[in-house]
Amino acid sequence: MKTQAKLMTTGSIQKNIIRFALPIFLGNLLQQLYNTADSLVVGNFLGKEALAAITSCSPLIFLLIGLFQGIFVGAGVVISTFYGAGDMDSVKKSIHTSVAFGLVSGIILTLLGYFCSPIFLRWMGTPEAVFNDANTYTRIYFLGISSLVLYNMSTGILQSVGDSRHPLNFLVIAAVLNIILDILFVVVFDLGIAGTAYATIISQSVSVLLSFRLLLTTKEIFRVEIKHIRFHKHLISKILRMGIPSGIQNSVTSLANVFVQSSVNLFGATAMAGSGAFMRIQGFALIPVTSFALALTTFTGQNLGAREYIRVKRGARFGVLFAMFLAESIGLLLYYYAAPLVSLFSQDANVIAIGVEKARISSFFLFVLALSHAMAGLFRGAGKSIVPMAVMLTFWCIGRVVYIKIGLSMLMDIQVVFWAYPITWSLSAIVFVIYYFTADWMQTKPRTL
């Protein structure tokens, strides 16, 4: 299988970033499509209660996996910086340490998610009408969580050396398989919401098998050799130092989103279904955001490793502004076409009304969400992962929870909950911009990992 590791330290900045971000964009698009396909099949064939169950599980799932995903981001920063500096021995050791961590964390998450999901769902105040479906979905999902963890780990390795094409190819296969299995298990075999979960973990398992086939057989620098998979003490400490702030950020933000979801749950299954349906749709607007954030992380890591400081600043300006433009363009489409889009998930008029209400509040503010994510990716690539962690902990977790608690105590209206996102997105964006223009975030002295 032909592979490609790419340096982003020479050539056109715009072409480098777009060439790297485009496969991630397409991959995320496919992933969002098959996540949306889950909800479309469930909403249209199993009803709004099942739709409420599956969409309300997302914050809980990401709460449990967020810490580990953040650590893989840290591993990617370490690998990309060594790669940009030409230290190939450290690249190899970092990769094998990352694989060892992925194997261990997959086991931990499987046990934690399977046995603790019912407890967490109770804490979220999941209504009895949807509890059994939500519990079934999350427990089956976590039985296959190792595949998701190992896929994210392998994708992080490939992206850190500039290869974003192969993760896209593997995701295409997984996405098509997931959609086929959704229809087969739910519509044909009548397995209910469990069928959706089985479809997801089978397709994820196929993607990780393809990823590891590449990593084990390639002749490139990122080849994995089973006998070398182990923890290198000095490298795992660097990976954790870079990754734990991102992981904490993911986890605490997800914890806040669990609280937001529990607040939505107060308004019943119809509100859960409508809000959840629009969140699936809004996920499409986040695709350029996450794509350019990852591209900026790798671009910044490689160029700072090569001490190309001017390229870093130029890349930052282009990546952040382009992500904002794309996100808001999609946001405007979501604003005007929210009703027909939400109706794809459910024909219930009340479900559609809730989804449209959420769209009217969130869609105009997606550019500030893009700004926050892109700058967070930039600062992680520069080794400043503590900054996005602190900003998002402050606004996306503490600020969001405090706002909702106070807001709902004054006015018991679901609009109060929906406004939590654009308000906290805007506050974090302001702080990121101030930090970008006032701090020495590039560390223009030679970096020592």
Sign of the torsion formed by the C-alpha atoms of 394, 397, 398 and 400: positive
Neighbours of 191 (CB within 10 A): 15
Give, for 6, the enclosing helix (H) or strand (E): none
Q: What is the pLDDT of residue 34?
A: 67
C-alpha to C-alpha distance for 241 and 259, rounded to whole angstroms: 28
Please tell me the total count of domains within the chain.
Answer: 1
Question: What DSSP string describes 304-358?
Answer: HHTT-HHHHHHHHHHHHHHHHHHHHHHHHHHHHTHHHHHTTT---HHHHHHHHHH
The reply to whether 444 falls in a domain is: no
The reply to whether 96 falls in a domain is: yes
Instruction: Give which of 243, 317, 242, 328 is closest to 288, Cα–Cα.
Output: 328
Contact 396, 256 (CB under 8 A): yes
CA distances, 413 to each of 264, 373, 407, 436 (Å): 10, 29, 9, 37
C-alpha to C-alpha distance for 371 and 374, rounded to whole angstroms: 5
Q: What is the pLDDT of residue 444?
A: 56
DSSP, collapsed to helix, strand or coil, labels residue 425 as helix
The reply to whether 361 falls in a domain is: yes
Contact 428, 395 (CB under 8 A): yes
Contact 272, 130 (CB under 8 A): yes
Contact 369, 286 (CB under 8 A): yes
What are the strands, taking DSSP E only, across 89-161?
none
Q: What is the pLDDT of residue 449?
A: 47
For 229: left if phi > 0, alpha if psi spans -120 to 50, otherwise beta; the answer is beta
Q: What is the pLDDT of residue 6?
A: 61
C-alpha to C-alpha distance for 64 and 139, rounded to whole angstroms: 12
Give the contacts of 103 (CB within 8 A, at least 6 positions apart). 150, 229
DSSP, collapsed to helix, strand or coil, labels residue 84 as helix
Neighbours of 211 (CB within 10 A): 24
What residue numbers bound the domain in which 396 lies? 13-438
DSSP type of residue 188? I
The reply to whether 269 falls in a domain is: yes
The reply to whether 6 falls in a domain is: no
pTM comes to: 0.69
The reply to whether 258 falls in a domain is: yes
DSSP, collapsed to helix, strand or coil, labels residue 246 as helix
Instruction: Give which of 427, 428, 403 is closest to 416, Cα–Cα.
Output: 403
The reply to whether 448 falls in a domain is: no
What does the CA dihedral 260, 149, 183, 282 come to, rounded to 10 degrees? 40
- Tens of pLDDT along the chain (449 residues) come to 444 556 677 778 888 888 878 877 877 777 777 677 777 788 788 887 887 778 777 777 777 777 777 788 778 878 888 887 888 899 899 999 999 999 999 999 999 889 988 898 888 778 888 888 889 999 998 998 898 889 888 888 887 777 778 888 888 888 889 889 988 998 889 998 899 889 989 998 999 999 999 999 988 888 999 999 999 888 888 888 877 777 777 777 777 777 888 888 888 888 888 888 888 888 888 888 888 888 888 888 888 877 888 888 898 899 899 889 988 998 999 999 999 999 988 888 999 999 999 999 999 999 999 999 999 989 988 888 889 889 988 998 899 989 999 999 999 999 999 999 999 999 999 999 999 998 887 765 544 44
C-alpha to C-alpha distance for 95 and 83, rounded to whole angstroms: 11
**Most distant pair of Cα atoms in the chain: their distance:** 62
Neighbours of 35 (CB within 10 A): 18
Question: For residue 68, what are its two tokens?
Answer: 């580990």
C-alpha to C-alpha distance for 385 and 16, rounded to whole angstroms: 23
DSSP type of residue 446? P
Give the contacts of 4 (CB within 8 A, at least 6 positions apart). 162, 163, 165, 220
C-alpha to C-alpha distance for 329 and 155, rounded to whole angstroms: 28
The reply to whether 45 falls in a domain is: yes
Give the contacts of 358 (CB within 8 A, at least 6 positions apart). 274, 275, 278, 279, 418
C-alpha to C-alpha distance for 166 and 174, rounded to whole angstroms: 13
End-to-end CA distance of the chain: 32
Question: For residue 424, what are its two tokens?
Answer: 């906290």
CA distances, 304 to each of 86, 225, 312, 378 (Å): 12, 28, 7, 11
Place of tokens 């106070």: 406
Structural Rg of the chain based on CA atoms: 21
Place of tokens 């929906």: 418
